[in-house]
Amino acid sequence: MSPLITPAGLAGLAGATVLDVRWKLGGGPPNIDSYREGHVPGAVFCGLDTDLAAPAGAGGRHPLPSAEAFQEAMRRLGVSGSRPVVVYDEADSTAAARAWWTLRYFGHPDVRVLDGGFRAWVSEGLPADKEEETASPGDFVAHPGGMPVLEATQVLEFASEGVLLDARAAERYRGEVEPIDPVAGHIPGAVSAPTGENVDPAGRFHLPDFLRERFNTLGAVPGLQVGAYCGSGVTAAHEVLALEVAGIPAALYVGSWSNWVADPSRPVATG
CB-CB neighbours of 108 under 10 Å:
23
From the list 103, 165, 230, 246, the catalytic residue is 230
The DSSP annotation for 235-250 comes to: HHHHHHHHHHHTT---
What backbone torsions phi and psi does residue 162 show, to the nearest 5 degrees? -130, -140
H or E, element range at 105: helix 94-105
Backbone angles phi, psi at 137, to 5 degrees: -55, 140
The answer to whether the CB of 227 falls within 8 A of the CB of 150 is: yes
- Give the Å distances, CA to CA, from 115 to 4, 89, 128: 6, 9, 17
Give the C-alpha separation, 11 to 250, whole Å.
30
Known catalytic residue: 230?
yes
Distance CA 246, CA 208 (A): 5
Q: Which residues have a catalytic role annotated?
A: 230
